C-alpha cells in the first residue's frame, strides 16, 4: 500500500495494523505527488466536476454529489478500456436510459469464475500498457541523476511572493537552499539529507528530482535561517525599503514603477 506521510499513515497504530494484516506499507517521499500519480489525476478530475457543479448550482452544489459520483463511475476510462463500475462489479451499470432494453445473460458457477479471471487479466494488461505509455512520455523529460553517500546537494524550495505585477515576478529569489550532506540512499530514487536543527519539522527524505548536485561546497551557502524556511519548504520575502520610483505613461493611464529592497538582501539585489 502506497500512501503519503500524513499523521494517520505514519502512526504506530497504523504501522502495527498493517504488519498484522500482512500489508507492505510504502510511504512517499516528501513533497513528491508523482508517487501517486493516478490518485492525483483522479482528484483533479473530481475537483473539476465539483467546480462545474458549484458554478452551475451555486449553494445547492452538494445535491449533485450522487449524480457526479454516478457519472464518474460509469464514464469510460481509456487506461481500463471500460468504466470503473464495470471493473469493480464485472458488468455494465444499467441506467434508467436502458431499462427498457433486455438485460445481459446471467452467469453462474464455474463460468462466472472463468469470466472474472479473464476480465481481471484484461484489466491488468490494459493498466500495464497505460503505465508503459506514460513512462515513455516521462522518460523524454527525465534526467538520470544519482548521488553517493557523503555528497553535498542543494534542495529545491518554492518561494511564496505576494507581489506579481504585469506577469513578472517581483524578485529573482534563490530556488535552492543548502548545501546539505547526503547521509543515506533510500531506495533507488530517494535520499536522506542531514538537515539543520531548525528544519527538524521537515521530513529528511527527498526524491532525486528535488536535489541538485553541489560540485564544490561553498564557503557562503544560502542561509536557511535567514529566509525562514517553513515546514512545507516555502518561504516568504517582505519589502523593507523603496529605493527608487519611476513613471511610465501610456495612452490611457500612468503606471508607477518602484525599485524595492527585499528582506535579507542588499541594495545591489533590489528589483
What is d(CA 49, CA 69) in angstroms, rounded to the nearest whole number? 10
Residue 7 within any structural domain of the chain: yes
- With respect to residue 233, please indicate whether it lies within any of the assigned structural domains: no
Q: Could you identify the residue written with the cell 520610483?
A: 245
Same domain (yes/no): 218, 242: no
Residues 119 and 246 in one domain: no
Mean of all residue pLDDT scores within the chain: 70
Question: Are residues 22 and 57 located together in one domain of the fold?
Answer: yes
Residue at 230 is within a domain: no
Q: Domain check: are 123 and 49 in the same one? A: yes
Residues 135 and 183 in one domain: no
The reported pTM is: 0.40
Task: Please say whether the dihedral angle defined by the alpha carbons of residues 217, 222, 223 and 229, taken in this order, is positive or negative.
Answer: negative
**pLDDT tier for residue 165 given thresholds of 50, 70 and 90:** very low
Task: Residue 27: name the closest of 173, 240, 205, 209 by CA.
Answer: 205
Taking only the tens place, the pLDDT of each residue in 210-245 is 888 887 765 545 555 556 666 666 667 777 778 788
In a domain, 187, yes or no: yes
pLDDT tens per residue, range 86-97: 777 777 776 655
Q: Show the domain range for 263.
A: 238-271
Q: Which residue has the cell 529569489?
A: 173
Residue 232 lies in a domain: no
- 247 and 255 Cβ atoms separated by less than 8 Å: yes
Q: How many domains does the chain have?
A: 3
* CATH value at residue 178: 2.30.30
User: What is the domain-level CATH number for residue 124?
Assistant: 3.30.420
What is the grid cell recorded at 138?
Answer: 516521462
Answer whether residue 255 is part of any domain: yes
Q: Are residues 12 and 78 in the same domain?
A: yes
Give the Å distances, CA to CA, from 244 to 46, 169, 254: 48, 18, 16
User: By C-alpha distance, which of 30, 39, 41, 32 is closest to 1?
Assistant: 39
Residues 154 and 258 in one domain: no
256: three-class secondary structure by DSSP: strand
Cα 148–chain centre separation: 26
Q: What is the mean pLDDT of residues 9-20?
A: 77
Rounded CA separation 33/121 (Å): 28
Task: Kindly state whether residue 46 falls inside one of the protein's structural domains.
Answer: yes
User: 186 - beta bridge partners?
Assistant: 190
pLDDT digit string, tens, across residues 103-141: 555 555 566 566 666 666 666 666 666 667 666 666 666
Amino acid at each position: 500500500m502506497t500512501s503519503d506521510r500524513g499523521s494517520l499513515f505514519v502512526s504506530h497504530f497504523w504501522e502495527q495494523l498493517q504488519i498484522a494484516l500482512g500489508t507492505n506499507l510504502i510511504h512517499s517521499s516528501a513533497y513528491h505527488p508523482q508517487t501517486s500519480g493516478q490518485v492525483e489525476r483522479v482528484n483533479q478530475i473530481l475537483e473539476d466536476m465539483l467546480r462545474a457543479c458549484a458554478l452551475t448550482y451555486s449553494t445547492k452544489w452538494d445535491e449533485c454529489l450522487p449524480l457526479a459520483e454516478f457519472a464518474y463511475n460509469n464514464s469510460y476510462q481509456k487506461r481500463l478500456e471500460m468504466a470503473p463500475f464495470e471493473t469493480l462489479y464485472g458488468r455494465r451499470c444499467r441506467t434508467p436510459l436502458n431499462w427498457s432494453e433486455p438485460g445481459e445473460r446471467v452467469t453462474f458457477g464455474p463460468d462466472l469464475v472463468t469470466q472474472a479471471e479473464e476480465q481481471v487479466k484484461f484489466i491488468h494488461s490494459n493498466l500495464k500498457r497505460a503505465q508503459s505509455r506514460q513512462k515513455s512520455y516521462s522518460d523524454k523529460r527525465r534526467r538520470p541523476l544519482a548521488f553517493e553517500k557523503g555528497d553535498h546537494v542543494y534542495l529545491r524550495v518554492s518561494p511564496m511572493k505576494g507581489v506579481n505585477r504585469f506577469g513578472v515576478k517581483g524578485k529573482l529569489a534563490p530556488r535552492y537552499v543548502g548545501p546539505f550532506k547526503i547521509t543515506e540512499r533510500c531506495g533507488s530514487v530517494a535520499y536522506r539529507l542531514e538537515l539543520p536543527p531548525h528544519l527538524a519539522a521537515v521530513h529528511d527524505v527527498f526524491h532525486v528530482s528535488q536535489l541538485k548536485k553541489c560540485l564544490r561546497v561553498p564557503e557562503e551557502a544560502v542561509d536557511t535561517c535567514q529566509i525562514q524556511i517553513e515546514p512545507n519548504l516555502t518561504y516568504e520575502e517582505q519589502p523593507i525599503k523603496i529605493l527608487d520610483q519611476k513613471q511610465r505613461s501610456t495612452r490611457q493611464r500612468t503606471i508607477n514603477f518602484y525599485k524595492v529592497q527585499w528582506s535579507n538582501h542588499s541594495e545591489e539585489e533590489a528589483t
